[in-house]
Amino acid sequence: MKIIIAPTKQMKFKDDFELPYTTPLFQQESALLRKELSTLDPDTLKKTMKISDRMLPKVYDLFHTKHPNRGCALLCYSGIAFQYMAPGIFTNEQLDYVNEHLRILSGLYGLVRPLDEIEEYRLEMQTKLPFSPGSLYTFWNKKIADALNDEVILNLASEEYAKCIRPYKPLIDVRFLDADGKEKGVYVKMARGEMVRYMAENKVERIEQIQKFDRQDFRFCPERSNETLYIFQKIK
Cα–Cα dist 61/38, whole Å: 9
Give residue-wise pLDDT tens across range 115-158. Answer: 999 999 999 999 999 999 999 999 999 999 999 988 899 999 99
The per-residue pLDDT for 16 is: 67
Per-residue confidence at 13, pLDDT binned at 50, 70, 90? confident
Residue 1: Cβ within 10 Å count: 15
Per-residue confidence at 235, pLDDT binned at 50, 70, 90? confident
Residue 67 has pLDDT above 70, yes or no: no
* Nearby residues of 40 by Cβ (< 8 Å), 6 or more positions away: 48, 63, 130
Q: Look at residues 11, 200, 213 and name the one whose alpha carbon lies nearest to residue 99.
A: 200
pTM over 0.75: yes
Per-residue confidence at 70, pLDDT binned at 50, 70, 90? confident
Cα–Cα distances in angstroms (integers) from residue 159 to residues 5, 22, 142, 174, 199, in the given order: 10, 27, 16, 11, 21
Q: Which residue has the higher pLDDT, 69 or 192?
A: 192
Residue 20 has pLDDT above 90, yes or no: no
Give residue-wise pLDDT tens across range 154-183. Answer: 999 999 999 999 999 999 999 999 999 999
Cα–Cα dist 153/43, whole Å: 39
